[in-house]
Amino acid sequence: MAKKIISLQIVAKKIKKYLCTNTTTMNYFSSDFKLGILGGGQLGKMLLFDTRKFDIQTYVLDPSDEAPSKIACNKFFQGDLMDYETVYNFGKQVDVLTFEIELVNLEALTQLENEGLKVYPSPKTLKGIQNKGVQKDFYTESNIPTAAYLRFESPAHLQKSVGNNEITIPFVWKCTEFGYDGNGVKVIRQISDMDDLPNVECIAETMVPFKNELAVIVVRNPSGEIKTYPVVEMEFHPEANQVEYVICPARIDEKVAEKARAIALNVSEKFNHVGLLAVEMFQTHEDEILVNEVAPRPHNSGHYSIEASYTSQFENHLRAILDLPLGNTDSKVAGVMVNLVGAEGFSGDVVYENIETILGWDGVTPHIYGKKQTRPFRKMGHVTIVNENMNEARRIAEDVKNTIKVISI
Amino acid sequence: MAKKIISLQIVAKKIKKYLCTNTTTMNYFSSDFKLGILGGGQLGKMLLFDTRKFDIQTYVLDPSDEAPSKIACNKFFQGDLMDYETVYNFGKQVDVLTFEIELVNLEALTQLENEGLKVYPSPKTLKGIQNKGVQKDFYTESNIPTAAYLRFESPAHLQKSVGNNEITIPFVWKCTEFGYDGNGVKVIRQISDMDDLPNVECIAETMVPFKNELAVIVVRNPSGEIKTYPVVEMEFHPEANQVEYVICPARIDEKVAEKARAIALNVSEKFNHVGLLAVEMFQTHEDEILVNEVAPRPHNSGHYSIEASYTSQFENHLRAILDLPLGNTDSKVAGVMVNLVGAEGFSGDVVYENIETILGWDGVTPHIYGKKQTRPFRKMGHVTIVNENMNEARRIAEDVKNTIKVISI
């Protein structure tokens, strides 16, 4: 009799557990629920701050045994993100799947989604983004303003088109797939610049003279709740043509900011995107906004949000993919972000020279990604500077940029 | 010859590495440096957010295999914090040692410090804090205002003193050692209340009528740089006499706040304290400030700082014990903190009922510590509410308190 009561209690508990974990509001917190993350780089690492804060279990897949995400996830798997079997088998072990890098096996994601797994952003969305030609076509079809372009199967087709005066030099060449962090983009200023292009599908895009490069991060959950972060501005080095500062809010006219946010919102909705979408844009001299490209994940242009926003981009990505209510995207204070990249001429065990100095300044927070080895231009971390006063934040950011150096021992 | 050059390079590298890691500014970031943390509870877990952010290696020792700190440290050791050998052997493996709980083996810390290990806060300081009788004597000797008290070897001695009218009822009984979270404290309102006191050393303290219970967190590094956080206020439930909200800044007169910060500063300096020191105080009806007790570590009254302050208490503790410059202790916005404790009548696998609801409100951040099992009154997490407007933060905090429930499946 006693045994029967106990076993009935166990059954009742199991039913209760089933109900608690299988209704519309799942029990994510300190539960058996598992979130899978493809990629274990710095974006994954920063996402794990929020999974840890909420005590949500995470499984991470990354090719490197030294991935920055390795130690703060619940289970780490080493494997190739482009390999069908690896990604598929990883996905079968989790309840919701997301990624921190776009270069993942799309077929595996599609198969997993077809089998009922929640994959956010959806592979359908990712498919429209992974290939820049398809992405540009999508903007055109969706009436989203973007720079004029033509698609080509190969550099040979492109060169023929240039020969026929269908395109005029200068223009921007972009490979349609697998470009990353500036790779796969080249300004063609003369015929000979096309000589050493890789033999891949590409687009040729009109060079747009612009006065600002802007970005808007949009977050959207499966229930359709959607929010945008304030517009940020990428400030370029006057000579090197390299982004030096990400500034939030952008120092632009309020009307232009509203237009940029509305366009970004439209892009996210048209893509039926779930999770975080970073929309990079040009502000032309006529205050037109043209969409450059998007990233379907937490993004460098949103790192400032960890210190400056009510809800960081990472927490909001997590909320979105779990269909939780989205957090406030407003800023508490002004924020400026400076990337920490490996200095030229240094390779080896990393040292952050003068980091003690910048730690002594108000509102300065370095984020060290945890890569043991520096190489020229390798992204090693970033520094956020927050202040009530934007000009003060910008001034300190310049001091930070001129002080800390990523070198090797 | 080539071999010789290589080996010379290796020697040069080793020398360089030695210099980089053994000068006054050590290389903590992405290096071989190891920080040891005694205790792996929620305070340790939150400290690990900052060690991860800076990529500083951590070793953690905790008796529980399910410690909240387990997954985000670099190496976890299961062992008894009160055992000499365990603590000593753990300490021998790290470069700097700290703790997130006071109940650790003091003799082992003392031996480690004598052998040259940097132990912060110092066991000398901890010794003056671990025993509440010694702590009270220290305040008296240091001219730090505190409630009148008497020390007793045992309840028998106390009862004798009461019998001789050396103490008048009511008073507060406190055991001098190993009290935690309200254990070891009892208000004696009648003779019979002393009947079941444990047979340990104790103090009897005058009951101070107060209008506010306040706390000030002080942070100090070995170089002597010192900063205080704003004064926080503990708001009590009008009937249950239980802290319901920690509010920053305290809604008190600016002069009283200045006095409280000055006293806290004095306490930290007199203790020669390194790291974070939380100073709990009473504000009497005459606006006197009396020090109640201190905690030599990150503290519940400083949790609001993660979202509200320029530098969280955890990051500042880390900066302090590594002798880095201290971060800005000012707030960006007003903050109110609500503890999440297990509801009465529930024991077992935890569920955070209505957590989705509170996530939908502006500026609400739950922290779930990661304990799988709830028990009545067990500290399971906390929620921080931040807002530009203090009254709005306080209002939302009340809604949070009345909405989220820590129950079991």
Query: B405 with B344: CB under 8 angstroms?
Result: no
Which residue of A60, A332, A358 to mutate against B (max B Cβ within 10 Å)?
A332
The residue to which tokens 């270069």 are assigned: A103
Which A positions 117-136 lie with beta carbon below 8 A of chain B? none
Residue B4: what pLDDT?
54
Phi, psi (deg, nearest 5) at residue B389: -105, 120
Average per-residue pLDDT in chain A? 92
Exposure letters B127-166 (e unless 16+ CB within 10 A, then b): ebbbbbbebbebbeeeebbbbebbbbeebeebbeebeeee
Q: What is the pLDDT of residues A206-216, one digit of tens each?
A: 999 999 999 99
Taking residue A240's Cβ as centre, other Cβ atoms within 10 Å add up to 8
Higher-confidence position of B91 and A18: B91
Determine the number of helices (DSSP H) and then strands (DSSP E) in chain B: 12, 21
Subunit contact A365:B30, Cβ cutoff 8 A: no
Q: What is the DSSP letter of B300?
A: G
Taking residue A244's Cβ as centre, other Cβ atoms within 10 Å add up to 17
Residue A22: what pLDDT?
43
B356 touches chain A (CB under 8 A): yes
Residue B24: what pLDDT?
47
> Domains of chain B (ranges plus CATH)?
24-119 (3.40.50.20), 148-206 (3.30.1490.20), 210-408 (3.30.470.20)
- State the smallest CA–CA distance between residue A50 and chain B in angstroms: 9
Residues of B in contact with A386 (CB under 8 A): 310, 332
Mean pLDDT, rounded, for A383-391: 98
Phi, psi (deg, nearest 5) at residue B123: -55, -25
Q: Would strands B289-295 and B364-368 be described as parallel, antiparallel, or unpaired?
A: unpaired
Instruction: Determine whether the annotation assigns residue A206 to a binding site.
Output: yes
Higher-confidence position of A181 and B241: B241
Amino acid at B24: T
**In residues, how long is chain B?**
409
Measured between CB atoms, which of B13, B54, B360 is closest to A325? Answer: B360
E-assigned strand segments in B189-242: 202-206, 210-220, 226-228, 232-236
CA distances in angstroms from B115 to A346, B24, B95, B310, listed in the order given: 37, 19, 12, 36
Q: What is the DSSP letter of A23?
A: S
Q: Angle at Cα A280 formed by Cα A278 and Cα A285, nearest 5°?
A: 155
Among left, alpha and beta (phi > 0; psi -120 to 50; other), residue B30 is left
Taking residue A286's Cβ as centre, other Cβ atoms within 10 Å add up to 7
- State the smallest CA–CA distance between residue B320 and chain A in angstroms: 12
Average the pLDDT over each of A16-25, A366-375, B73-82, B237-246 and give the range with the smallest value. Answer: A16-25
B79 touches chain A (CB under 8 A): no
Mean pLDDT, rounded, for A380-402: 98
Residue A90: what pLDDT?
98
The rounded distance, in Å, linking the Cα atoms of B380 and A29 is 11
Is pLDDT of A26 > 90?
no
Reduce the DSSP state of residue B50 to 3 states and report it. Answer: helix
B14 touches chain A (CB under 8 A): no
B30 touches chain A (CB under 8 A): yes
B18 touches chain A (CB under 8 A): no
Residue B22: what pLDDT?
43
Residue B14: what pLDDT?
55
Tell which residue, A335, A133, A140, has the closest CA to residue A232: A335
Measured between CB atoms, which of B48, B362, B370 is closest to A30? Answer: B370
Subunit contact B328:A363, Cβ cutoff 8 A: yes
Query: B223 with B211: CB under 8 angstroms?
Result: no
Q: What is the pLDDT of residues A316-363, one digit of tens each?
A: 999 999 999 999 999 999 999 999 999 999 999 999 999 999 999 999
Average the pLDDT over each of A13-17, A169-173, B280-284 and give the range with the smallest value. Answer: A13-17
Q: Give the CA count within 13 Å in the CB-facing half-sphere of A348.
A: 11
**In residues, how long is chain A?**
409
Mean pLDDT, rounded, for A298-305: 97
Helices (H), B276-326: 305-308, 313-321
Residue A94: what pLDDT?
98
Query: B129 with B294: CB under 8 angstroms?
Result: yes
A59 touches chain B (CB under 8 A): no
Subunit contact A74:B74, Cβ cutoff 8 A: no
- State the smallest CA–CA distance between residue B303 and chain A in angstroms: 13
Subunit contact A368:B327, Cβ cutoff 8 A: no
Phi, psi (deg, nearest 5) at residue B34: -130, 125
Which residue of B56, B310, B321 to mutate against A (max A Cβ within 10 Å)?
B310
Query: B45 with B72: CB under 8 angstroms?
Result: yes
Query: B385 with B393: CB under 8 angstroms?
Result: yes
Which residue of A30, A33, A56, A386 to mutate against B (max B Cβ within 10 Å)?
A30
Residues of A in contact with B333 (CB under 8 A): 332
Taking residue B401's Cβ as centre, other Cβ atoms within 10 Å add up to 18
Distant-in-sequence, close-in-space partners of B49: CB < 8 Å, separation ≥ 6: A49, A52, A53, B72, B306, B314
Q: What is the pLDDT of residues B78-101, one digit of tens each?
A: 999 999 999 999 999 999 999 999
Q: Angle at Cα A99 formed by Cα A98 and Cα A103, nearest 5°?
A: 140
Q: Would strands B348-353 and B289-295 be described as parallel, antiparallel, or unpaired?
A: unpaired
Measured between CB atoms, which of B324, B327, B409 is closest to A17? Answer: B409
Tell which residue, B215, B251, B235, B409, has the closest CA to residue B338: B235
Residues of B at the annotated binding site for ATP?
132, 174, 205-208, 213, 292-293
Structure token pair of residue A25: 């509001």
Residues of B in contact with A221 (CB under 8 A): none
Tell which residue, A246, A180, A213, A190, has the closest CA to residue A378: A180
Is pLDDT of A224 > 60?
yes
Residue A25 pLDDT level (bands cut at 50, 70, 90):
low
Tell which residue, B43, B369, B95, B382, has the closest CA to residue B244: B382
Residue B19: what pLDDT?
47
**B254 - beta bridge partners?**
none
Per-residue pLDDT 10s for chain B (409 aa) are 455 555 555 555 555 554 444 444 579 999 999 999 999 999 999 999 999 999 999 999 999 999 999 999 999 999 999 999 999 999 999 999 999 999 999 999 999 999 999 999 999 999 989 899 999 999 999 999 999 999 999 999 999 999 999 999 999 999 998 765 557 889 999 999 999 899 999 999 999 999 999 999 999 999 999 999 999 999 987 776 678 999 999 999 999 999 999 999 999 999 999 999 999 999 999 999 999 999 999 999 999 999 999 999 999 999 999 999 999 999 999 999 999 999 999 999 999 999 999 999 999 999 999 999 999 999 999 999 999 999 999 999 999 999 999 999 8
Mean pLDDT, rounded, for A108-132: 95
Instruction: Determine whether the annotation assigns residue A208 to a binding site.
Output: yes
- Residue in A with minimal Cα distance to B353: A27
Which A positions 358-377 lie with beta carbon below 8 A of chain B? 359-360, 362-363, 365-372
B332 touches chain A (CB under 8 A): yes
Measured between CB atoms, which of A49, A54, A363 is closest to B368? Answer: A54
B93 touches chain A (CB under 8 A): no
Residues of B in contact with A325 (CB under 8 A): 356, 359-360
- Residue in B with minimal Cα distance to A24: B356
B340 touches chain A (CB under 8 A): no
From the CA atom positions of chain B, what is the Rg in Å?
Answer: 23
Is pLDDT of A179 > 80?
no
Is pLDDT of A17 > 70?
no
Residue A13 pLDDT level (bands cut at 50, 70, 90):
low
The rounded distance, in Å, linking the Cα atoms of A129 and A295 is 8
Query: A58 with A51: CB under 8 angstroms?
Result: yes
Measured between CB atoms, which of B25, B369, B371 is closest to A356? Answer: B25
Subunit contact B350:A30, Cβ cutoff 8 A: yes
